[in-house]
Structure 1
Amino acid sequence: MTRTVDELRNEIRVAVGRFERERSAPFTKEDLAAVCDAVGYEVETSGRLPPKAEMRAGILWKIGVVAEVNPEEAPSSFRKDELDAIVAAVQ
C-alpha cells in the first residue's frame, strides 16, 4: 500500500526528531530546519530561520534531486516523489 503525502511528511518529522501532526499540515520552518540538519544542509539557526524556499532548495540539492540550490525555482511544497527521496535520506 502506498503512503500518502501526509504519512510521508509525518515519517520525515519523526525521523528528524519533530512531532507528528494529526491533520494535514505543510512543513513549518522548524520542521524544514530539522530536515536540513538531517541531510547535512547547513542553515543559520541562531537567529531567524531562512525562508522556506531556501531550505526546500537546499534539501533537494543535498539529496541529489536538483543540481544547484536555487530558492527562486524551489517548489512551494515537496512533491510525493521528493518526499520519498527525503524519507530515504533521513532514515
Structure 2
Amino acid sequence: MARTVDDLRNEIREAVGRYERVESTAFTKEALAAICEAVEYDIGTGSLPSKARMRAGILWKIGELDDDDPDRASSAFRKAELEAVATALRDS
C-alpha cells in the first residue's frame, strides 16, 4: 500500500522525536528545526529562521537541492520530498 503524505510526515516527526499528529498538518517551525538538527543543517541560535529557509536547508543537506535558497522551497514539502527526507532519516 502506498504511503500517504500524512504517513510520511508522521514518520519524519517520530524520527526526530516529535509527536505523531492525527490531523493533517504541515510541519511547525519547531518540527522543521528538529529535522534540521537531524540532518545537520545549522540554523544558528536565537529565533528560528523562516520555514522556507529550513525546508531549503533540509533538502540541500539530503541532496535534493543544490543550495539552501529559500525561494526554492517556499511551499510545504511535496510527497517526493517527504519520501526523500524520510529515507535520509531512516539511513542516518
Relative to the length of structure 2, the TM-score reads 0.94
Alignment of 1:14-33 (within 5 A): 14-33=14-33
The match for 2:69 is 70
Listed as ranges, the gaps of 5+ residues in structure 1 are none
Cα offset, 1:37, TM superposition: 0.5
Are positions 1:41 and 2:41 aligned together?
yes
Question: Using the alignment, how far apart are the partners of 2:60 and 2:35 within structure 1?
Answer: 12
The match for 2:78 is 79
Q: Secondary structure at the match of 2:2?
A: coil
Listed as ranges, the gaps of 5+ residues in structure 2 are none
Residue type of the alignment partner of 1:48: S
* Superposed CA RMSD: 0.9
* 1:36-60 deviations in Å (ceiling 9; x for gaps): 001110112x421100000000000
